[in-house]
Amino acid sequence: MADYATDMEIDARGMFCPGPLMELIKGIKQSQVGETVAVLSTDSGSKKDIPAWCQKAGHELLAVVDEDGYARFVVKKAR
C-alpha cells in the first residue's frame, strides 16, 4: 500500500452525509493546485459521493484506502 503524503488531512469520521464531502470541498478550496487533501470518513455515502465529485470538479482521486472502521480518500487539487 502506497503511503500518500498529504498537505491537509480532514478527520470527518462520525460526520453524516453530506458532511465529509462538504469538508473535502472546503479543504480543496483552501488548497493550492497540486496540493493533496485527505478526508477520513465513516459515512457510507462518501464512497460514491467523493469519487463522483472529484470527477465532476476535475480533481484527481489518488486513492481510497480502507482503514480500521473508516475510509481515507486522498484527493489532489488538479485545477
Interface residues with another protein (CB under 8 A)?
14, 16-19, 21-22, 25-26, 49, 52-53, 56-57
Quick one: cell of 63? Answer: 486513492
Structure-derived torsion over alpha carbons of residues 32, 61, 23, 30, reported in degrees to the nearest 10:
0
Q: Least distance to another protein from the beta carbon of 31, Å?
A: 15
Q: Is 54 a catalytic residue?
A: no
Q: Which of 8, 13, 17, 19 is catalytic?
A: 17
Distance CA 33, CA 5 (A): 15
Closer to another protein by Cβ: residue 57 or 64: 57
Distance CA 65, CA 67 (A): 6
Q: Least distance to another protein from the beta carbon of 57, Å?
A: 8
